[in-house]
Amino acid sequence: MTGTLTDVLVAVALLLVAAAATAAVLNRDPVRQALVLSFLGLSLALLFTFLQAPDVALSQLAVGSAVTPLMILLTVRKVRRRPGDGGPPQGGAGDGRRGAGRDGRPPR
């Protein structure tokens, strides 16, 4: 029975990972994508734990749900700071208060 239940856990985590990966690709705005990517990292960590790989889960948790999304957010902030990318001109220091989806594309 424990084996069957582990299989169920693995299957649910697998479907969650597949759905999160699809959502990460379909969210075209990088800020939103960063949030979905951190969810993907989280669900991968769960899947890896169920596959009896806690070492890999730890490293996926640290990288996938913290470092990678943070780097993406910082890059977005840098890239959107200056006018000229189709977005509205933005003077002054960024205070992080601007909404997502100002990249010349409407938010989905």
Residues within window 76-105 making contact with another protein, judged by CB under 8 A: 76-79, 81-85, 89-100, 103, 105
Q: Between residue 8 and residue 37, which ones bind another protein under the rule CB under 8 A?
A: 8-37
Minimum Å gap between C-beta 45 and another protein is 7
Q: What are phi and psi of 75, to 5 degrees?
A: -65, -45
Distance CA 67, CA 50 (A): 23
106 near another protein, rule: CB under 8 A:
no
63 near another protein, rule: CB under 8 A:
yes
DSSP SS3 for 103: coil
C-beta of residue 50 within 8 angstroms of C-beta of residue 81: no
